[in-house]
């Protein structure tokens, strides 16, 4: 499958998640079968002002850019275009524009999902970014801002006319945040309204839900987010189902090795002190549903060093 020249074997994409989809996690998911990954969102203004922390978030290394998009957020077309052009130095496969982030900080600034209140502005931003870069430009939107303004189709058609290459649609409103269920009918309506590829996002947690999402929306690809937390091997499971193959669940030893590799990569990229703080949430997710998980999570959240966290991973998987 190709989306604007991007080769996707099974059409499986790791969704952008702030504080989560860093280089370490992207690599783990890619190794398990994600065809494409999207970075954590980076502030367009921060990029333009040369913020070092933002620069580290956007940096792509070891050829990762061939299958990774850099996501930017902001509400001013001038800054968005300038930031997108600046980020090309990392050689991303595409630039993604965040029009779906539901967190209050973004919304209060008129960014993220707040942009959906103004389809005209959405189109202006896309047009500016498309004109500033020589790679595909995508957007990630929601069903609408709230239940009274389900306008994903309106926004999608506006950004298509502005030159967007593909559109990811999360089937929830900003009002819902991550509660309730994703509305697949909204994604279907977007797919039927535009000619560019549409990616379905929301509630894909296993092979069965992946097949249902594709069948009910007619989407060209799937974007997996929260379903991959603590379960990056979900990409292998979904890929097997889509290919009509039997899937064998990983052994506890294999899952343990994955969690340890994740921790190791975090330390290599960010240094031990920062890595351990950021690893706490990931290792806690790996422990979900396992024996003594609540007790272990308390200890995980107090861990201060690599050796201690590595030992806790063994306990999580009973090894």
- pLDDT one-digit tens code per residue, 6-41: 777 889 999 999 999 999 999 999 999 999 999 999
Over residues 256-260, mean pLDDT: 98
Clarify whether 101 is annotated catalytic: yes
How far, rounded to the nearest angstrom, does the alpha carbon of residue 70 sit from its chain's CA centroid?
10
Lowest mean pLDDT of 79-83, 100-104, 304-308, name the range.
100-104
Query: Which residue among the candidates 29, 48, 101, 256 is catalytic per the annotation?
Result: 101
Question: Pick from 32, 35, 17: which is nearest to 234 by CA?
Answer: 32
Confidence of residue 50 (pLDDT cuts 50, 70, 90): confident
CB 21 within 8 A of CB 47: no
14 versus 51: the higher-pLDDT residue is 14
CB 204 within 8 A of CB 213: yes
CB 198 within 8 A of CB 219: yes
265 versus 175: the higher-pLDDT residue is 265
User: Which pTM does this prediction carry?
Assistant: 0.94
- pLDDT one-digit tens code per residue, 126-170: 999 999 999 999 999 999 999 899 999 999 999 999 999 999 999
CB 106 within 8 A of CB 59: no
CB 139 within 8 A of CB 116: no
Contacts of 268 (CB under 8 A, 6+ apart): none
- pLDDT one-digit tens code per residue, 164-206: 999 999 999 998 888 889 999 999 999 999 999 999 999 999 9
Over residues 59-78, mean pLDDT: 92
For strands 198-201 and 221-224, give the pairing: parallel
The chain-wide mean pLDDT, for the chain, equals 94
CATH of domain 252-316: 1.10.1200
Confidence of residue 319 (pLDDT cuts 50, 70, 90): confident
Architecture of domain 2-242: Alpha-Beta Barrel (3.20)
**pLDDT at residue 55, rounded to an integer:** 81
The residue assigned the tokens 């954590």 is 40
**pLDDT at residue 1, rounded to an integer:** 63
- pLDDT one-digit tens code per residue, 203-255: 999 999 999 999 999 999 999 999 999 999 999 999 999 999 999 999 999 99
Locate 108 and state its tokens.
């209060």
For strands 94-99 and 68-73, give the pairing: parallel
All structural domains of the chain with their residue ranges:
2-242, 252-316
**pLDDT at residue 9, rounded to an integer:** 82
Is 80 exceeded by the pLDDT of residue 2? no
Over residues 78-87, mean pLDDT: 96
In the 3-class helix/strand/coil scheme, how is the chain assigned residue by residue?
Answer: CEECCEECCCCEEECCCCCCCCHHHHHHHHHCCCCEEECCCEEHHHHHCCCHHHHHHHCCCCCHHHHEEEEEECCCHHHHHHHHHHHHHHCCCEEEEEECCCCHHHHHCCCHHHHHHCHHHHHHHHHHHHHHCCCCEEEEEEEECCCCCCCHHHHHHHHHHCCCCEEEEEEEECCCCCCCCCCHHHHHHHHHHCCCCEEEECCCCCHHHHHHHHHHHCCCEEEECHHHCCCCCHHHHHHHHHCCCCCCCCCHHHHHHHHHHHHHHHHHHHCHHHHHHHHHHHHHHHHCCCCCHHHHHHHHCCCCCHHHHHHHHHHHCCC
The residue assigned the tokens 């280089």 is 23
């Amino acid at each position: 499958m190709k989306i604007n020249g991007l080769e996707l074997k099974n059409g499986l994409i790791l969704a952008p998640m702030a504080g989560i989809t860093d280089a370490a996690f992207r690599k783990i998911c890619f190794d398990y079968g994600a065809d494409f990954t999207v970075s954590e969102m980076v502030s367009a203004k921060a990029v333009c002002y040369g913020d070092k922390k933002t620069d580290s978030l956007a940096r792509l290394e070891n050829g990762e850019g061939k299958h990774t998009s850099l996501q930017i957020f902001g509400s001013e077309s001038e800054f968005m275009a300038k930031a997108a052009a600046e980020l090309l130095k990392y050689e991303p496969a595409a630039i993604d524009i965040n029009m779906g982030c539901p967190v209050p900080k973004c919304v209060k600034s008129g960014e993220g999902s707040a942009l959906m209140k103004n389809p005209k502005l959405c189109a202006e931003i896309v047009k500016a970014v498309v004109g500033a870069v020589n790679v595909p430009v995508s957007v990630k939107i929601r069903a609408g801002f709230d239940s009274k303004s389900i306008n994903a189709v309106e926004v999608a058609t506006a950004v298509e006319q502005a030159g967007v290459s593909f559109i990811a649609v999360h089937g929830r409103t900003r009002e819902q945040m991550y509660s309730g269920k994703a509305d697949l009918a909204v994604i279907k309506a977007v797919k039927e309204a535009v000619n560019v590829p549409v990616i379905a996002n929301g509630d894909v947690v296993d092979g069965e839900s992946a097949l249902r999402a594709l069948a009910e929306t007619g989407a060209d690809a799937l974007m997996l987010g929260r379903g991959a937390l603590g379960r990056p091997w979900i990409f292998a499971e979904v890929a097997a189902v889509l290919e009509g193959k039997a899937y064998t669940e990983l052994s506890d030893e294999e899952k343990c090795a994955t969690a340890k590799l994740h921790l190791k990569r975090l330390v290599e990229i960010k240094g031990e002190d920062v890595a351990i703080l950021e690893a706490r949430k990931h290792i806690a997710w790996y422990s979900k549903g396992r024996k003594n998980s609540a007790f272990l999570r308390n200890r995980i959240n107090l861990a201060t060093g690599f050796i201690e966290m590595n030992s806790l991973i063994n306990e999580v998987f009973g090894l």
